């Protein structure tokens, strides 16, 4: 028997790649943590007629939201660099002067697992409060064997401390640490790849990521990391074309990447390769906003080639100190000109795909019962308001 029937709901099912897939006066049957049936109330099958009902009073139901790109486990913060940037320094200058990612590396190495966890939980709580039920978390602020594993253990611990699912990405190829300055190849051979193998052996890795950029790693170096990922049977994704075009998206597509992320500087050949490979474009407007980037990701070109677009917070202490998925959606609309329906697909259906999580992201029979119930009447309101959270409640794995 199903456990529960949600009734009197307006449902944005997000089942198709376009639009909301709205069902008016809808009902959803939940059973054993999954969605058993969805449709208009008048069509509720006899099987579900006697089940305990919850009247949602006309509220909007969407899939629970998914934040598919975060770096939310880290030590310290970078408010001082924020201040320095406002006094004229650029993000790349700070990075080259040993600040930027490397300053977070120092703080993350110095922090204990318990400290990192305590700092990360409020960030996770902020996402949960906005209806997020699945979050991706990357390593990449350790850049040594021990700290990369420490970050991933903290990410796994988060899922034991809070009602949220965590997918981890190993991001050992995020920056070259000071002890390997000018020796990126040696860093990859001696630290990054052994740490990846060790983390995988401990069950800490769901995917492998990299930062392909002038201030980080060249495509040939990322390719070495991806070869190892493939040998371990792990999917890959890539920070590509964020500040310049090094052909990272093409490389990612060649490895059948789940997603290529940022991609402000991608060209049409890169987009075509992504389309062919089925690689999702993860848009990160929080970083675009924070860095006051002016080069937009080529949204019209992505639409033209049918590349699915995800939207994520990129929560990190430097380029995107953002722990609001709703604000990321608003920024995707206002800064990148996504439609509100595209923004919602970006944090549901397409975000699920960017994580290879095919059992969620839509309100459909067979999917996990991760739902968000909102005090709004139309789904466009989710991306429209700024700094306002209309979540009524979140349903996680069928738990109301």
Binding residue for Fe ion (CB under 5 A) from 31, 165, 209, 314?
314
Give backbone dihedrals phi and psi of 318, rounded to 5 degrees, phi first: -105, -70
Residues 6+ apart with CB under 8 A from 201: none
Q: Which is nearer to ligand DI6, 174 or 200 (CB)?
A: 174
3-class state of residue 315 by DSSP = coil
Residue 318 sits in the site that holds ligand DI6 (CB under 6 A): yes
Q: Smallest distance, Å, CB 262 to ligand DI6?
A: 7
Contacts of 214 (CB under 8 A, 6+ apart): 92, 243, 244, 246
**x/- letters, 62..81, toward ligand DI6 (CB under 6 A):** ---------x----------
Token pair in block for residue 47: 């099987």
Using the rule CB under 6 A, which residue among 13, 62, 147, 316 binds ligand DI6? Answer: 316
- Using CA atoms, how far apart are residues 387 and 188, in angstroms rounded to an integer? 41
Would you give the binding string for Fe ion spanning residues 198-237, x where CB under 5 A is met? ----------------------------------------
Contact set for ligand DI6, span 192-231 (CB under 6 A): 211
d(CA 166, CA 117): 14
**Binding partner selected for residue 205 from ligand DI6, Fe ion, none, CB under the kind-specific 5 to 8 Å limit:** none
Task: Based on the shown chain and the rule CB under 6 A, indicate whether residue 314 belongs to the binding site for ligand DI6.
Answer: yes
> Which tokens sit at 49?
């007629």
Return the residue of 287, 343, 369, 395 that touches ligand DI6, per CB under 6 A: 287
Instruction: Report which of 4, 24, 20 is spatially closest to residue 12, judged by C-alpha positions.
Output: 20
Interaction between residue 239 and ligand DI6 (CB under 6 A): yes
Between residues 144 and 370, which has the closer beta carbon with respect to ligand DI6? 144
| Alpha-helical runs (H) found in the chain | 79-86, 91-96, 101-110, 113-128, 145-161, 184-187, 193-201, 219-231, 248-254, 268-277, 285-290, 299-304, 325-336, 340-346, 349-354, 380-384
Q: How far is the CB of 171 from ligand DI6 (least distance, A)?
A: 8
- Tell me how far CA of residue 42 lies from CA of 7, 24, 191, 241, in angstroms: 10, 11, 60, 49
Closer to Fe ion by CB, 293 or 314: give it: 314
Q: Which stretch binds ligand DI6 (CB under 6 A): 97-105, 177-185, 327-335, 389-397?
A: 97-105
- Which residues lie across from 394 on neighbouring strands? 372
Residues lying near ligand DI6 in the complex (CB under 6 A): 71, 100-101, 104, 174, 211, 239, 242, 287, 314, 316-320
Residues lying near Fe ion in the complex (CB under 5 A): 314
């Amino acid at each position: 028997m199903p456990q529960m029937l949600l009734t009197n709901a307006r449902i944005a099912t997000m089942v198709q790649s376009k639009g909301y897939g709205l069902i008016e006066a809808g009902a959803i049957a939940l059973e054993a943590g999954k969605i058993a049936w969805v449709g208009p109330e008048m069509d509720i099958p006899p099987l579900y007629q006697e089940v305990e009902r919850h009247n949602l009073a006309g509220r909007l139901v969407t899939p629970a939201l998914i934040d598919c790109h975060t770096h939310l486990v880290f030590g310290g913060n970078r408010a001082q660099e924020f201040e320095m940037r406002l006094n004229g320094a650029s993000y790349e200058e700070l990075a080259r002067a040993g600040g930027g990612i490397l300053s977070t590396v120092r703080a993350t190495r110095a922090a204990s697992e318990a400290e990192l966890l305590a700092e990360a939980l409020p960030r996770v709580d902020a996402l949960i409060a906005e209806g997020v039920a699945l979050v991706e978390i990357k390593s990449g602020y350790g850049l040594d064997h021990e700290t990369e594993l420490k970050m991933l253990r903290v990410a796994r611990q988060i899922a034991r401390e809070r009602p949220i699912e965590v997918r981890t990405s190993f991001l050992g190829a995020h920056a070259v640490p000071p002890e390997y300055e000018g020796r990126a190849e040696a860093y990859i051979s001696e630290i990054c790849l052994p740490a990846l193998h060790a983390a995988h052996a401990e069950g800490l890795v769901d995917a492998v990521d990299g930062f392909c950029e002038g201030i980080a790693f060249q495509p040939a170096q990322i390719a070495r990391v991806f070869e190892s990922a493939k040998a371990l049977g792990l999917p890959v994704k890539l920070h590509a074309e964020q500040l310049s075009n090094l052909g990272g998206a093409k490389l990612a597509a060649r490895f059948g990447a789940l997603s290529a992320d940022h991609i402000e500087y991608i060209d049409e050949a890169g987009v075509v390769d992504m389309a062919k490979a089925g690689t999702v474009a993860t848009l990160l407007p929080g970083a675009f906003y924070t860095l006051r980037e002016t080069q937009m990701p080529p949204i019209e070109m992505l639409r033209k080639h049918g590349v699915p677009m995800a939207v994520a917070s990129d929560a990190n202490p430097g380029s995107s100190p953002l722990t609001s998925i709703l604000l990321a959606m608003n920024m995707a609309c206002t800064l990148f000109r996504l439609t509100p329906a595209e923004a919602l697909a970006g944090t549901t259906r397409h975000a699920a795909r960017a994580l290879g999580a095919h059992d969620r992201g839509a309100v459909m029979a067979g999917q996990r019962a991760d739902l968000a119930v909102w005090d709004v009447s139309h789904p466009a309101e989710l991306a429209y308001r700024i700094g306002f959270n209309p979540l009524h409640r979140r349903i996680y794995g069928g738990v109301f």
